[in-house]
Amino acid sequence: MTNLTPPNGPLAPAAETTPKKAVGATDVLRALGRGRVLITLIIGLGSGLPFMLVGNTLGIWLREGGTELAAIGFISWVGLAYSLKFLWAPVIDRVDVPLLGRLGRRRGWLLLSQIAVGLSLIAMALIGPEGGLTLLGVAALATAFSAATQDIVADAWRIESAESDEDQGLLTSAFQLGYRAAILAGNALILFVASGIGWNGAYGLYGAAMGIAVVATLFAKEPVDRRTLEQVTGQVSLLSPRGLFDAIVGPFVTFLKTHGAAAILMLAAISLYRLPDFVMGPMIGPFYTDLGLAKETIGAMRLSVGLIASLLGIAAGGLFAVRFGFGKTLLLGALIGPMSNLGYTAMALVGLSTPVFAAVLFVENFSEGFAGAALVAYMASLTSIGYTATQYALLSSFYALLGKFLKGLSGVVVEGLEQGRPLMEAYALFFAATAAVGLPAVLLCWLLLLRHRKSDRSVNTF
């Protein structure tokens, strides 16, 4: 999968009532001479680098090593760290990291998490499947936890570093550009690297590459003097009962107060929106391997057809949102998202065919790009200023929590379907079933659209 808007990728800042000039990749490239923009791009690169390495790419490595589908599904549960990051986001928001805290709260946590990601990836390389799935799973969990922590603080650093709305748009685009480049590196380019030096060497190399992000953080500027800010705003220590309540409960209470009864409907729609993609995700890599696709073929297709389709899907999603609003865009994205699942059903039935693979990959990446752009824009419109890291993490966590839990059972389901039938037929039934789980999201998006049409506030967001 070559989704350029990954589940836990950067969200745009909160939507404003005053329209802003859109900032694209061209604007970012022109501004790379400005140190803050280049640093933001590299921090985004480091934030996105580990995402696929504990996800679908890991599944290809494991399946090539003969790991059973059920075990691959279970190991995918390490990705839950991304969805549970709101649990420790309050600590990131309110506590300085020991020793490194002298760099500032944001830079200290960012540096610690980047170093931890790099070392954990190197540990995965040293262990490998041959070292035992338990040890490899522990290393993968450490990588995911460190990467989720990096996402929390990187998002907060980026938002707080902006000096104006226009600057916020530029930094956000720079971050996204780096993040998307890292997704390609971990999803496609690594397949060529692994073909040349092996999976262990590839993971070790990518772990060492986190050093680039470490250097960027050392040159970055701390956006806010946290101690001065807390004295001015009257924030109390996290260790006190009031401080603990403000840090953990405050962001959720604020979200519920802001959106009222619609908050539950919003969170439900967000949590189900990309469920088909999440549930089938761990089985994509093993499916490619069992079908007989070479790593180089997968990588080449992802870098060509997949990349083009993703960019077209993202652009179409953005243009549709501008023309018709978030509500209709969300609904259309929920409708076309599961098409990629049905495409894999067709691919399993047809068998090994490069043209069919190209067509399925195009449909998959276009639909993911469109649906992802729609959801990112909608979640951004719900984000309010204040409790930057925690409330931001709340939305992105609900986005993926259910899907990342259910996907751990995907291998068990495929192996169950395989009883009494060929493996490819089992895959076909599995992918068709994952498409069907997208129907509730369609209903919820339709209800959201109806509700917001009746609300005066819908003028600005829907």
pLDDT in the model for residue 36? 81
Condensed to tens digits (0 to 9), the pLDDT of residues 86-137 reads 788 888 877 888 888 788 888 999 999 999 999 999 999 999 999 999 999 9
pLDDT in the model for residue 32? 63
Distance set, CA 350 to CA 353, 427, 428 (Å): 7, 12, 10
Q: Is residue 370 packed enough to be buried (19+ CB in 10 Å), middle (13-18) or exposed (0-12)?
A: buried
pLDDT in the model for residue 430? 97
pLDDT in the model for residue 264? 82
* Residue 84 per-residue DSSP state: S
pLDDT in the model for residue 15? 36
Q: In whole angstroms, give the CA distance from residue 401 to residue 271.
A: 7
Fold classification of 249-452 (topology level): Growth Hormone; Chain: A; (1.20.1250)
Whether the pLDDT of residue 445 is over 70: the answer is yes
Give the range among 51-65, 228-242, 277-291, 341-355 with minimum mean pLDDT. Answer: 228-242
Whether the pLDDT of residue 446 is over 60: the answer is yes
The sign of the dihedral angle between the CA atoms of 39, 43, 49, 52 is negative
Q: In whole angstroms, give the CA distance from residue 346 to residue 360.
A: 8
Cβ neighbours for 167, distance < 8 A, ≥ 6 positions apart: none
Spell out the domain ranges in the chain: 11-15+17-240, 249-452
Q: Please answer whether residues 266 and 448 qualify as being in contact, where contact means their C-beta atoms are separated by less than 8 angstroms.
A: yes
- The CA-based angle 122-407-355, given to 5 degrees, is 85
Whether the pLDDT of residue 20 is over 70: the answer is no
Question: Looking at residues 397-425, what average pLDDT do you find?
Answer: 91
Condensed to tens digits (0 to 9), the pLDDT of residues 360-381 reads 999 998 988 888 777 876 776 6
Distance set, CA 9 to CA 147, 170, 245, 290 (Å): 11, 16, 28, 30
Q: In whole angstroms, give the CA distance from residue 138 to residue 123.
A: 10
pLDDT in the model for residue 458? 45
Give the whole-number percent of the chain exceeding pLDDT 70.
79
pLDDT in the model for residue 269? 86
Mean pLDDT score across all residues of the chain: 82
pLDDT in the model for residue 437? 92
Q: Residue 242 corresponds to which amino acid? A: R
What residue has token string 């039934």?
A: 429
Q: Is residue 363 packed enough to be buried (19+ CB in 10 Å), middle (13-18) or exposed (0-12)?
A: buried
What residue has token string 């490239």?
A: 29
Residue among 113, 135, 111 nearest 124 (CA): 135
pLDDT in the model for residue 389? 52
pLDDT band per the 50, 70, 90 thresholds, residue 459: very low
Give the range among 286-290, 338-342, 422-426 with minimum mean pLDDT. Answer: 338-342
Whether the pLDDT of residue 453 is over 50: the answer is yes
Q: Please answer whether residues 42 and 213 qualify as being in contact, where contact means their C-beta atoms are separated by less than 8 angstroms.
A: yes
Architecture of domain 11-15+17-240: Up-down Bundle (1.20)
pLDDT band per the 50, 70, 90 thresholds, residue 451: confident
